[in-house]
Amino acid sequence: MILDKHQRIHNYLRISLTDNCNLRCFYCMPDVDYSFMPSSQLMQADEITEIAKTFIQLGTTKIRLTGGEPLVRKDADTIIKNLSSLPINLSLTTNGVRLHEFIQTILEAQIKSINISLDTLQADKFHLITKRNNFKRVWDNIQLLLENDIHVKLNVVVMRGINDSEITEFVAWTRDTNIHIRFIEFMPFKGNKWVDDKVFTWQDILATIENKYRWIKLKDEANVTTKNYRVPEHKGTFAVISTITAPFCSTCNRMRLTADGRMKNCLFSKDETDILSAFRRGEDIVPLILGNVEAKALERGGQFVEDFHQLQAVGIENRSMIAIGG
Ligand code: SAM
Ligand code: SF4
C-alpha cells in the first residue's frame, strides 16, 4: 500500500505519455520558448508497462493516460493495449481530436469512460482558445463515443470573460444526453498568464446555473475531485472542480508520472522523483515511489494561500500544465 504521512492511501496513477499536443490551449501550453521533450527522453511503451506493474504491486487500481495529448503519440495504441491487459481500471483524458482513429483500440481495451476537453460550443471561440480549427472534429468524436456507449466526461475550464457565458448552454446539453460536464476553475501553471480575476469560481458557476435551472446536489464518491449536481429532469449531470476556492486534497489518492518519467505527488508539487533514470539503471524503484508519496504536502503542493486573490502565480514553482500531464 502507498501511504503518505497524512495517512492518505494512494492508488490512482496518472501517466503522461507526451508533452506534445495538436492543440495550443493558451491556459495550458506556454506560447513562447516551449520546446517539446525529445522522444529518447520519454518513457518507452515497454518501460511504461513495467513501471505501471510496480505501481500495481503497491496497490494501484486505476491508471489514467494523459499528456500533452496522449493520442498524438505514435505508439499510443500499443501503450493502451499493453495497459489494458493489467488488473486496473484504465481510462484516458484527451482533447478528442484523434479519437476516431482510436475507437477500435478503445473498444478492445474495454475503456468505459473517457474525459474530453471542450471549453466552448462555438467553433470560432474554439480557435481562439486552442489556436486550431478542430471544433467539428471534436464534436463528432464526442458523438462517436456516445454512440458506442462510452461515457463522456467533458472538461470545461471556465475563464471569466471567455466562456462563462456558455455555462448554461453546457448544462442544457445534459437535458437529453447522458453526459457529465465538469466545470474546472482556472488554475495557475508556469507560463499560462494566470490572473485571479479570470477565475470564475465554484460559487460563480452555481449562481450562473441557478439563474436558469434548479439543480440538486448528488452524493460525491470517495476520492473524487468533483462536486456533483443534476438538473432533476435531465439525463446527464454536471460538476465543479474547485481546486482554487475549495480544494479536495484531504481525500487525495493521486500520483503522477510525467512523460519523462518523473514522479509528482501533486499537480502543484515542486519536487519530482526521477523514476525513469533509476529504472533504466536497473535499480529498485519501490523505495523511490514510497518516498515520493511519503513527502506529499497536506494541500496543493504546499504552494497556495487561502485567498486566491493574494496568490502570486509567478512564485509557484512548477512545470507548465502541458509538461506535467493534467
Ligand atoms: N490534452 C488532453 C486534454 O486536453 O484533455 C489531456 C491533457 S490536459 C493538460 C488535461 C486537462 O487539464 C484538460 O481538461 C485541460 O482543460 C486541463 N487544464 C489545462 N490547463 C489548465 C488550467 N490552467 N486550469 C485548469 N485546467 C487546466
Ligand atoms: Fe493540449 Fe490538452 Fe493542453 Fe489543450 S489542454 S494544449 S489539448 S494538452
**Residue 71 and residue 75: Cα distance in Å, rounded?**
9
The reported pLDDT for the residue numbered 224 is 80
To which H or E segment does residue 173 belong? helix 167-173
What residue has cell string 436558469?
A: 212
Answer yes or no: is the C-beta of 324 below 6 A from any ligand 2 atom: no
* Domain assignment present for 4: no
CATH number for 178: 3.20.20.70
pLDDT digits (tens, 9 = 90+) for 113-170: 999 999 999 999 999 999 999 999 999 999 999 999 999 999 999 999 999 999 999 9
> Is the Cβ–Cβ distance between 113 and 90 less than 8 Å?
no
Ligand nearest the Cα of residue 195 is 1
Q: Ligand 1 center to residue 247 CA distance, Å?
A: 17
DSSP state of 205: H
Instruction: Count other C-beta atoms under 10 Å from residue 187's C-beta.
Output: 23
**Which residues form the domain of 313?**
12-324
C-alpha pair distances (Å), 86 with each of 24, 60, 109: 33, 11, 10
**Residues 127, 134: Cα–Cα separation, whole Å:** 8
**H or E element in which residue 290 lies:** helix 286-294
How many alpha carbons lie under 13 Å from residue 320 in its C-beta half-sphere? 24
The answer to whether residues 101 and 94 touch, using CB atoms and an 8 Å cutoff, is no
pTM, two decimals, is 0.95
Which residue ranges of the chain lie beneath pLDDT 70? 304-305
Ligand 1 midpoint to CA 311 (Å):
20
Give the number of the atom of ligand 1 that is nearest the alpha carbon of residue 186: 24
Is 7 part of a structural domain of the chain? no
* 67 domain residue, yes or no: yes
118 inside domain:
yes
Give, for ligand 1, the residue of 17, 21, 23, 25 to mutate: max count of ligand atoms closer than 8 Å to Cβ.
25
Ligand 1 atom nearest residue 324's Cα: 9
Q: Does a structural domain hold residue 142?
A: yes
Owner of C-alpha cell 470573460: 161
Q: What share of the chain is helix, strand, coil (3-state, %, to 5)?
A: 35, 20, 50
Q: What is the model's pLDDT at position 83?
A: 98
- Quick check: CB of 258 below 6 Å from ligand 1? no
Tell whether ligand 1 has an atom less than 6 A from the beta carbon of residue 191.
no
Total tally of structural domains belonging to the chain = 1
Cα angle: 89, vertex 92, 260; to 5 degrees: 105
What local confidence, expressed as pLDDT, does residue 304 receive? 67
- Whether 6 is in a domain gets the answer no
- From the list 185, 181, 165, the residue with the least C-alpha distance to 173 is 181
| Residue 128 within any structural domain of the chain | yes
Looking at the domain assignment, is residue 2 inside a domain?
no
In ligand 2, which atom is closest to the CA atom of 29?
A: 6
